[in-house]
Amino acid sequence: MSRHTKDLSILVFPTYPSIIDDVKLTTIKKLQENDIIVYRIIQEKSFFSIYLNKPIKASIIISSFVGIKKIEIACSCPNNMKSIINKIVKMGQKIIIDEKFFIRVFSENSKFLSRDIEFIATGLLVEKLSNRLSRPSTNEESASKVIRVYIGKFKSYVSWKSLDGIRGNSYGKIKKKAFIIIYNEISLFSLKKIIQMGFFPDILILYWDYIDLKNILLSLHKILNNISIHKLKLKLLQLNLLIPEKNNLNTSINTDILLNLLIIDICSYFSNIIDVVIPFNLILHPTWLIDYSINFCIKNGKIPWMPNLFEEDLKFIPLIQNFNNSIRETTNLKRSKFNAYIEVRNKIRIKSDNFRKNIKVFSIQSGLLNIRPNYIDNILNSI
């Protein structure tokens, strides 16, 4: 570690204190996969600090993990009042320029009172910045620059930058698999949510053509790159083998609605996994279809999960560049028209051996996830 970065550390805060050990192991593994050397880890009560050789690069990588609430890039110092205050003042002189500031101290050490340090450090910093237009703020919300200090059992840390994580549970925390079908942007959002809940995903991709598959894989990678996987299987099935070409369908049949019904059927009959994900949303899908899917899955011994059922803003995940249908419209289907889809739906034999024979299986192994992962090219070249 160089002389200039020996005190520079990253503080990692898990979403829940109970998953701190899981998050720590995942973080170490992911950093090693990206050729980042970890020199030392110090575990405090509600967070852990990491000293490594590429802190800025590592902070970007770590902030994208599931199970992490936030990270702080900080300079560490010994656990004594003088050192902590000196570090705050030195940091403030570097980063505060003609702006309102606020010092917030979080203490996990009973020897130090947060208010005492905040009061003394603020007074000294005001004196040091007297020749500038900088002044202290009465609260954190109105300050344009906030210095956060974390006093742990072993060391203290003065943070100069904070990054929000994507929260959620640690990957696979609940030790259960959930079957999910990926076929559009909303289903990808459901995958992200189900991973954040702590499930292991069992993924079936439905696609129309080569371009459609490529777009799904590129978007899927953005989600998979946020977890540390040892091995994951992707199942692929071309929709043209199930549903006639869109142009050949009866004009009264809406392909998207038919596909929604097929999702329910496949979740109910195809997978042996009990927990299945239905990517429906109360704004995009009619209530009767949601009720129908829940009852149909339960009737067939499945537990339906709808992780984005109550999502309101419909922004979901930033995958627009990979999807032409980025403008989502509500499914205008009345319960009375449901029977019009039965004839077409019944011709698609989900339970047949031919259905399973048309599914291709690919394995993703750790170490392949990077800017342009090998597994995407391998899958596309085989289609």
> What are 120-174's pLDDT values in tens digits?
999 999 999 988 888 999 999 999 999 999 999 989 999 988 999 888 898 888 8
- Report the number of distinct structural domains present in the chain: 2
Task: Show the domain range for 150.
Answer: 8-167
Is 309 among the domain residues?
yes
**Residue 279's pLDDT band (cuts 50, 70, 90):** very high
Is 94 among the domain residues?
yes
The CATH number of the domain where 249 resides is what? 3.40.50
Chosen domain end from 138, 167, 196:
167
Interatomic CA distance for residues 149 and 146, integer angstroms: 10
Task: Mark 165-201 as b/e (b = at least 16 C-beta within 10 Å).
Answer: bbebbbbbbeeebbbbbbbbbbbbbbbbbbbbbbbbb
Q: Is the same domain home to 340 and 299? A: yes
Is 190 among the domain residues?
yes
Interatomic CA distance for residues 359 and 246, integer angstroms: 20
pLDDT of 301 over the 90 cut: yes
Q: Is the same domain home to 163 and 226? A: no
**Residue in 11, 124, 17 with CA at minimum distance from that of residue 73:** 11
Is 153 among the domain residues?
yes
Higher pLDDT among residues 335 and 87, named by residue: 87
Element counts in the chain: helices (H) and strands (E)? 11, 14
| pTM for the model | 0.78
pLDDT attached to residue 317: 45
Q: Is the same domain home to 158 and 246? A: no
pLDDT attached to residue 5: 57
Q: What is the pLDDT of residues 57-111, one digit of tens each?
A: 898 888 888 899 999 999 999 999 999 999 999 999 999 988 999 999 999 988 8
CB 92 within 8 A of CB 148: no
Eight-state DSSP code of residue 87: H
Chosen domain end from 167, 196, 227:
167
- Tell how strand 8-14 and strand 68-77 pair up: antiparallel
Which stretch of 50-59, 61-70, 258-267, 308-317 has the lowest confidence by average pLDDT? 308-317
Q: Is the same domain home to 86 and 183? A: no
Residue 242 CA neighbour count, 13 Å, CB half: 28
Q: Is the same domain home to 295 and 189? A: yes
Is 3 among the domain residues?
no
Mean pLDDT of 42-64: 90
Q: Is the same domain home to 159 and 189? A: no
Is 2 among the domain residues?
no
Neighbouring C-beta atoms of residue 102, cutoff 10 Å = 19
Chosen domain end from 167, 195, 217:
167
Q: What is the pLDDT of residues 189-247, one digit of tens each?
A: 999 999 999 999 999 999 988 999 999 998 888 888 777 776 788 999 998 877 755 54
Q: Is the same domain home to 287 and 335? A: yes
Interatomic CA distance for residues 169 and 115, integer angstroms: 33
Which spans in 197-307 are helix H? 210-224, 255-269, 287-299
CA 110, 115, 116, 122 torsion: positive or negative?
A: positive
- Pair of tokens at residue 61: 């990588």
pLDDT attached to residue 253: 56
Is 195 among the domain residues?
yes
The CATH number of the domain where 77 resides is what? 3.30.2130.30
pLDDT attached to residue 303: 97
**Residue 379's pLDDT band (cuts 50, 70, 90):** confident
pLDDT of 334 over the 70 cut: no
pLDDT attached to residue 327: 42
pLDDT attached to residue 3: 40
pLDDT of 318 over the 90 cut: no
pLDDT of 369 over the 80 cut: no
Q: Is the same domain home to 278 and 134? A: no
Q: Is the same domain home to 219 and 332? A: yes
Is 1 among the domain residues?
no
What Rg, from alpha-carbon coordinates, does the chain have?
26
Q: Is the same domain home to 257 and 306? A: yes
Q: Is the same domain home to 197 and 234? A: yes
**Residue 377's pLDDT band (cuts 50, 70, 90):** confident
Interatomic CA distance for residues 272 and 280, integer angstroms: 21
**Residue 341's pLDDT band (cuts 50, 70, 90):** low
Interatomic CA distance for residues 381 and 362, integer angstroms: 12
Interatomic CA distance for residues 286 and 383, integer angstroms: 35
Eight-state DSSP code of residue 198: T
Which spans in the chain are helix H? 20-33, 55-62, 81-95, 114-128, 185-196, 210-224, 255-269, 287-299, 342-346, 353-357, 374-382
Higher pLDDT among residues 24 and 350, named by residue: 24
Q: Is the same domain home to 254 and 354? A: yes
